[in-house]
Amino acid sequence: MKIVVLVKQVPATDNVKMDEETGTMIRDGIESEVNPLDLYAIEEAVRIKERIGEGVEINVLSMGPKKAVEAVRSAIAIGCDKGYLLSDRKFAGSDTWVTAYALSTGITKLVSGFDLILCGERATDGETGQVGPEVGAYLGLPALTYVSKIEEIGNGKIIAHRAVEGGHEVVESPLPVLVSVVKEINTPRMPNFSGKMKAKKIEIPLLTAEDIGADEERLGLQGSPTRVVKIFRPQVARKGKIVSTAGDPDGAVSGLVDFLTEKTII
Amino acid sequence: MKERDYRQYKGVWALGEVRDGEIHPVSFELLAWGRGLADKLSVDLSIVIIGSHIKDKVKELIPRGADKVYVIDHPALEHFRIDPFSAILTTMVEEYKPEILIASATSMGRTIMPVMAVKLDAGLTADCTGLDIDLEERLLIQTRPAVGGNIMATIKTPVLRPQMSTVRPKSKRPLPVDHSRKGEILVKEFSGEFLTSRVKRLAFIREEAIGAPIQDAEYIVAFGKGLKDSKHVELMKELAQVFNGSLGASRNATDLGWISYSHQVGLSGKTVSPRLYIAAGISGAVQHLAGMSSAEIIIAINSDPDANIFGVADYGIVGDLFEVIPLLIKKLKEKAKEA
């Protein structure tokens, strides 16, 4: 069985700075990490391999600047087998539609005969959750989103639970399939020593748009259907009444009950 | 890419949702968004409803703002499945050519719309909290939070059509029912390969939640790391029961396993818009605020006077929640007895 795990390198902090001119993130000087939600996809891939044993190959694919190779190495350290990074200036500024086009083109080129594509529900920076299902659509695969449990995989099919509004939907799909996972699915492990050593030594091929045979007109900012035209800080402040329990807890709580009464909440 | 004359694209479309055989209220929220856009553009607002035994229920969409309701009603379409739903919607969009297509950012909307973006060769913006029209350019202005709610981005789709967005549930209230509104119901038939699905639904395991699912709750009592231990969840439950409300939690509390992720409020959880939101022992990280700041009344209880949560509170108590909450429960119960 061949598995592809898609990972993204994201800023290790929420406190990112924006270039207000271009509407893009300033990534210089900011520590990066593997998108925390991708760790669940990596973990699930490794668990499938542990369950089935021999014959399972886990390929990690990412797209980003050269330093995103660290994210691919992190996935190798946890237990993935091979890694690839799509890296080219021509990819810069891609929206989800273009990113998914590039990733799906890369998968087709690099991993023949895959059975399963795993990804996190969304990345913690862009937070769209669109790339996974879009990759599935480009490859003509069904997309199982919000997967919280893989009950069975093998013999050309998968049975999985999807965490949706009001409960869990149990679905069966033929392979190959794209699966995006939610946090409920597992508890990601930390890499062990031998994993780290392997990740250090392994060669991660860097591939350009030309290498994967992507149509250059469909790439980057110019190929993206959507454009960020403005960025700004959200305003959510309210000027409420703040009281302290110091000395008079009873009075503070009575004040709250009066407030709720006045607002016709109670 | 398909060659198209994008000038032909006209009108605003919404993809409604059916759950458990009923029109789900997110459909009304979409109509409230869509009505504003359609009026600015002076075009019709249409809603597409795909489901089973739903024909008789779609009438209520017209008093809620729709000019046209397209209904696809077939037993094979009882539950959302990506293959038939996306095949039907693609065919309809290609036939009627709306300039805008919106869906709700639910598990269905967030699954089908990316697939639509690829099938239609069109751009998609996720999880918008604001939609407007730039009349000069006749473009949809899409606003959404990103990076943990730290920034808002405004996004346009200049060329490709339709312009597509998913809209965060509860980011707008439905329009009041107006029975004087006129509209048209159009039944569309699909059969054969349109109804086939590679993915089969085997079962549905309903989750037993405390109170209503939080995204639908009118009263939410939420807690964070300040609750210190899972055994204190009982105290919060007791307070929630006084309001007949639901329990919410911060990411810290769900990550610690005190309550399931379905109760998580915030960017990586649910967005809520209740009448009352009580935040106890929640510091108020921007990600959390992004999920609850549209609540009508926000009450904050926290021992740290500098906690962010006080910045969005209508009434805040600086103090020990283990002192405040029992006292509050007692006073609320007394008040209920008086009434």
Q: What is the DSSP string of B170-225?
A: TSSPPPPP-TT---EEEE----GGGG--SSEEEEEEE---SSS-GGG-SEEEEE-G
Q: Residue A180 falls within a domain, yes or no?
A: yes
> B214 versus B181: which is more confidently predicted?
B181
Q: Is residue A154 part of a domain?
A: yes
Q: What is the mean pLDDT of residues B54-72?
A: 97
Distance from CA of B183 to the nearest CA of A (A): 30
User: Does any CB of chain A come closer than 8 Å to the CB of residue B333?
Assistant: no
Q: Is the pLDDT of residue B17 over 90?
A: yes
Q: Does residue A248 lie in a domain region?
A: no
State whether A97 and B118 contact (CB < 8 Å): yes
CB pair distance less than 8 Å for B149 and A246: no
Q: Is domain B7-195 in CATH 3.40.50.620, yes or no? A: yes
Q: How many domains does chain A have?
A: 1
Does A104 fall in a domain? yes
- Residue A266 has a pLDDT of 81
* CATH code for position A6: 3.40.50.620
Residue A117 lies in a domain: yes
Cα–Cα distance list, A55 to A3, A229, B33 (Å): 11, 48, 51
Note whether B323 contacts A: Cβ–Cβ < 8 A.
yes
Give the domain extent around A162: 2-223
- Looking at residue A220, what is its pLDDT? 94
H or E segment and range at residue A150: strand A143-154
pLDDT of B3 above 60 = no
How do residues B75-110 score in pLDDT, each as one tens digit? 999 999 999 999 999 999 999 999 999 999 999 999
Residue pair B311/B297 in contact (Cβ under 8 Å)? The answer is no
Considering only CB atoms, B127 lies closest to which of A127, A169, A254, namely A127
Residue A245 pLDDT exceeds 80: yes
**A172·B119 Cβ contact <8 A:** no
Q: What are the extents of the domains in chain B?
A: 7-195, 214-338
Whether B209 has a pLDDT exceeding 90, the answer reads no
As a whole number, mean pLDDT of residues B249-274 equals 90
Q: Does position B211 have pLDDT exceeding 70, yes or no?
A: no
Chain-wide mean pLDDT for chain A?
93
B1 has a pLDDT exceeding 60: no
Interface touch B286/A14, C-beta < 8 Å: yes
Inside any domain, residue A198: yes
CA neighbor of B271 nearest in space, from B63, B106, B56: B106
Do B7-195 and B214-338 agree at the fold level?
Answer: yes
Interchain CB contact of B159 with A (< 8 Å): yes
Task: Establish if A74 belongs to a structural domain.
Answer: yes
Strands (E) in chain B, as ranges, are 12-15, 18-19, 22-23, 45-51, 68-73, 100-104, 124-128, 130-134, 139-146, 151-156, 163-167, 184-187, 200-206, 219-223, 246-249, 276-280, 297-302, 315-318
pLDDT computed for residue A156 by the predictor: 96
Residue B146's pLDDT is 79
Which of A32, A28, A2 has its CA nearest to residue A17?
Answer: A28
Which chain A residue is nearest to residue B80, measuring alpha carbons?
Answer: A169
| Cβ-nearest to B324 among A138, A143, A253 | A253
* Superfamily per CATH, domain B214-338: TPP-binding domain (3.40.50.1220)
CB-based contact (8 Å) between B83 and chain A?
A: yes
What average pLDDT does the segment B298-310 reach? 96
Given a cut of 80, whether residue A13 has pLDDT beyond it is no
Interface A-B, measured as beta-carbon pairs within 8 A, has a size of: 258
Any residues with CB less than 8 A from the CB of B335 and at least 6 apart, and which? A257, A261, A266
- Residue B213 touches partner A, C-beta closer than 8 Å: yes
Of A170, A263, A266, the CB nearest to B332: A266
What are A27-47's pLDDT values in tens digits?
677 789 999 999 999 999 999
In single-letter form, the type of residue at position B199 comes to V
Selecting from B123, B155, B202 the residue whose C-beta is nearest the C-beta of A172 gives B202
**More confident position, B337 or B183:** B183
> Band of the pLDDT at A231, cuts 50, 70, 90?
confident
